[in-house]
A = this chain, B = another copy of it.
Amino acid sequence: MKPRRERHGLVIVNTGDGKGKTTAALGVLFRAWGRDFRVRMFQFIKHTGARFGEQRAAERLGIRIEALGDGFTWLSKDMDRTTALAVEQWGRCREAILQGDDDIIILDEFTYAMHYGWVSVDEVIDTLKQRPRTLHVIITGRYAPQELIDFADLVTEMRMVKHPYETQGIKAQQGIEF
């Protein structure tokens, strides 16, 4: 492993309407774990205590994936609660980012919190500016705010070309999508 001082921490954004935003972040987590990096993932939106494939795998490997959310969708009724959970989760992220104990921190589906105005983009960028210079931060989700894209080092748009739900009515499947 390269000495930390030689590393240049990046702000990475995976956005767009296609698959692979969270999944690519999980791939980084897997790869980084293989190099003994300290990786931590905070999940927004997803239900607290979710038991998807990634949580199961992470648990076995001793990687911390912390989900705090109520499964927000367009049909959510209790927006106060959704907002409060996002704000609370961002507080935890902020602390971890400033603490500097980790090599990579992933904020999964965090773009929505900024997009819907639950968390201020300015505050996020301000926090990212204060992070240890070797820390990589990965943010995923649709609708990444333009200011965040402007600030980030590496931005990829995952674009849906073809999806089996659209073409064949096949729903998300275990192991592949969650």
Residues on A close to B: CB < 8 A?
1-2, 7-8, 10, 12-16, 18-20, 22-35, 37, 52-61, 103-104, 136, 149, 152-164, 167-168, 170, 173-176, 178
Contact = CB atoms under 8 A, between A and B. Distances in A.
Contacts of A162: 149, 152-155
B164 A153 contact: yes
Contacts of A14: 20
How many of these chains are in the complex? Answer: 2
A127 B90 CA distance: 47
Contacts of A176: 10, 12, 28, 31-32, 104, 136
Contacts of A58: 34
A35 B10 contact: no
A88 to B, nearest CB: 26
A15 to B, nearest CB: 8
Q: Of A27, A155, A162, A170, which is in contact with the most chain B CB atoms at under 10 Å from its CB?
A: A27
Contact of A53 (B15, B35, B154, B156): B35
A59 B35 CA distance: 12
A31 B18 contact: no
Nearest to A20: B24
A156 B34 contact: no
Closest A-B pairs by Cβ, 7 of them? A34-B57, A26-B27, A23-B27, A31-B53, A34-B56, A20-B24, A155-B161
Contacts of A29: 27, 30
A149 to B, nearest CB: 7
